[in-house]
Amino acid sequence: MKDLKDNRDLKILQTWDIPERQLSEDQELKCMEQEVLWLRLRFVVLRALSIAVSLVPKPQTNMQTMNNGEAVPVFPLEEVISELKEILQEVDLHPGSRAKLPFLGPPCSRLPGFLDGQHGVVLIAMLRVCHECHHLYYAAQDASSRDRWNSIQENLEMVTGILKGCTAECLGKLTTGSGEKTMFNGYVLEPLVLLVESCCCVILLAAVCCRFLQVLAGSRKAKKKNPGPPNEDIVPFREFLSSLKCSITALQSALKDVNIAQLSDELLELNIVELDNETKSSIVSEIWEKLQTSYKQSVKEISELLHHKVAFAKSLKI
């Protein structure tokens, strides 16, 4: 990503503001660095998810990397968790993360919303849960496994608390009203998208953990000498699954109840005739209509995605 170049024309909109209020070269540089950080973050998240999925136990044991007749386990999540933490720390310390750009400057980075919503914390915590489950799958149930079960419970509680808080905040700001008129609040779209993405990542990682825990809790053991965990150790994960299903279902139900697609039709309802008369041009109304269409398409995709994820989440069991 070091070879990436910023081909955006950030000076296409002319302004007569004083130089101090115009986009500076330093701001352009920091804006570019923010976009690169966002791409790096997305890349690491996708790599972490793909690694987690690749760890799902196969019906037949892989005979490669054998040592005295037993497969040597590899735990790759630890490295990607460290890499994700480093990038999040770099984002948090970057001077452009909280910088305010000029009105006619480039759009704000998505990183502040990602940090404020603690979505990085959610991903790291859930990856740790997956990492610990992977360890328990191979390790015998001895005294050292108690720390891993405690770590799983603590991280699950953290994920549950953050997701509940983000869900409540989004639902509380889903609509806005003026008198008797209720409209979809466009400002909630970005945090809503980030929340839904985090929920999708959590569901995927929870599914991987379920596969490990199903083997541990069932009659099929990873190793014959592994007696499996006591029932009370799996209870926190079952409670987490129940809470996760409730949160996602509540979010989906809320979108249905407020008829989000219909409300988005009224999002930017304006007196177009008056607007055209004032501007002597139809370009303003065209811009509003395109923006309105964009909101409608976004909320439609969110609703469809939630529908499938709710069905998948309900299928997760131990």
Using pLDDT thresholds of 50, 70 and 90, give the confidence band for residue 280. Answer: low
**Is the pLDDT confidence value at 222 over 70?**
no
Q: In 10 A of CB 57, how many CB atoms?
A: 17
Higher pLDDT, 265 or 76: 76
253 compared with 157, residue with greater pLDDT: 157
Sort strands 175-178 and 70-71 into parallel, antiparallel or unpaired. unpaired
User: Considering just the CA atoms, what is the radius of gyration of the chain in Å?
Assistant: 24
Mean pLDDT of the 109-123 span: 92
Question: Is residue 62 very low, low, confident or very high in pLDDT (cuts 50, 70, 90)?
Answer: very low
Contacts of 282 (CB under 8 A, 6+ apart): 276
Q: What is the pLDDT of residue 257?
A: 72
Weakest-pLDDT range from 64-78, 100-114, 260-274: 260-274
Q: What is the pLDDT of residues 160-211, one digit of tens each?
A: 999 999 999 988 887 776 656 666 777 888 999 999 999 999 999 999 999 9
Average pLDDT (98-124) is 86
For residue 4, the model assigns a pLDDT of: 76
pTM score, whole prediction: 0.82
Taking Cα atoms as reference points, which of 222, 213, 75 lies closest to residue 140?
222
Q: Binning pLDDT at 50, 70 and 90, where does residue 271 land?
A: very low
Query: In 10 A of CB 154, how many CB atoms?
Result: 14
Note the pLDDT of residue 276.
54
Q: What is the mean pLDDT of the chain?
A: 80
